[in-house]
Copies of this chain bind each other. A is one copy, B any other.
């Protein structure tokens, strides 16, 4: 009987993968009475439903010939032109050859794995880092070299130390993976000085930076910091992953990768075999939205809403979470998340069940550690719950926390 022997047939890469902890824990949080600070969903209040409905109709009528057909693997040229205009608003100059459209950032991450990782290769990333990146890279049987984070983002001395350690074993890491803006999960932003230092390092070592920046446009406080892609000035050391999921809506599954055209060409080869092309229908809808000049205003609306929710979250945490020298949380300048840490002895996975009993959910910190760690930390999302839910949810969380303190 096949099914008894099926395990023999699965690939080694697959057996290294596991169902995303976030997604599995999210299943526990489906009860309507739960206030969820887990997940990373944008608020449906930001979805321009009526605009998109009308625009979808118009664009199918007007652009149906390509919107309904197969498209170029690189992306629909007209849509890429709109992306290029959008990038200009962020000081980035790009040509069509620098861009490949992806089925959102998660595919971008998987493509990075496909293009760069051989089993047993080493990559550098922060602990904590985005859990979806960890799963994507784990699917290519990579070794994770973790460096720490502080309030200014990735600790550069740590990066130097890891590279030196690897060099002493004649190992060259394939790339440094980083979420420089409003990091997921920690909410911290890499300072301009560290951006420059990081670029110096990769130039010296001839390695690549994978810049994953899904929330870059969602800044609520402080001044913009140039992207690593901008600072690289087209030299090819930075490959940048972007998405429409957080600035328009996720249901299109739409993003792009930018980099030197020689490297992007390799991503095209990979994507041809992976799914031929990103849905032209998705590209058509986003194209029309941008062509009508709606995206920048829409982002401003998102920023307004999330600024309030972030404010409410910080206020509620200050108000309800018990004062304790070892309970801390980050104060993100943008994005969707903040990070809380507790005394060493607090196990946030154990506390999770307590939280579920209190009808509040978060993501356990260890999910974001590629190797190990994070057991006394957790991630909080403030984009999805309403201000009222944030206030009530933090009270519930505070009750769960209190049960764990000695």
Contacts and interface: CB of A to CB of B under 8 A. Distances in A.
Contacts of A276: 104, 106, 132, 253
B49 A11 contact: no
18 contacts: A3-B236, A3-B260, A5-B206, A10-B116, A14-B266, A17-B270, A53-B58, A56-B60, A67-B251, A68-B249, A68-B250, A68-B251, A69-B249, A110-B273, A251-B284, A254-B279, A279-B279, A282-B282
B44 A50 contact: no
A19 B267 CA distance: 10
Given A44-B68, A235-B2, A110 B274 contact: yes
Interface string A244-257: 01000111111000
Interface in A52-108: 52-54, 56-58, 60-61, 64-71, 73, 103-104, 106-107
A274 B106 contact: yes
User: Which of A53, A57, A275 has the most chain B CB atoms inside 10 A of its CB?
Assistant: A275
A199 B119 CA distance: 34
A268 interface: yes
A302 interface: no
Interface of A: 2-3, 5-6, 9-14, 17-20, 23, 41-42, 44, 47, 49-50, 52-54, 56-58, 60-61, 64-71, 73, 103-104, 106-107, 110, 114-119, 121, 132, 135-136, 138-140, 174-175, 202-203, 206-208, 235-237, 245, 249-254, 260, 262-263, 266, 268-270, 272-282, 284-285
A42 to B, nearest CB: 8
A263 B118 CA distance: 26
A197 to B, nearest CB: 17
Contacts of A58: 53
Nearest to A277: B253
B269 A281 contact: no
Contact of A132 (B68, B115, B266, B273): B273
Nearest to A205: B2
B53 A65 contact: no
Contacts of A132: 273, 276
Contacts of A260: 3
B2 A236 contact: yes
Given A6-B263, A117-B11, A268 B19 contact: yes
Q: How many copies does the complex hold?
A: 2
Contact of A251 (B6, B73, B121, B279): B279
A41 B69 contact: yes
Contacts of A107: 274-275
Contacts of A49: 60-61, 64, 68
Nearest to A133: B273
Given A2-B203, A11-B118, A106-B273, 12 more contacts: A2-B202, A2-B237, A10-B115, A11-B116, A14-B270, A50-B61, A52-B60, A68-B251, A71-B251, A106-B276, A251-B279, A279-B281
User: Which of A17, A174, A262 has the most chain B CB atoms inside 10 A of its CB?
Assistant: A17
B273 A135 contact: yes
Contacts of A14: 114-116, 266, 269-270
A20 B271 CA distance: 11
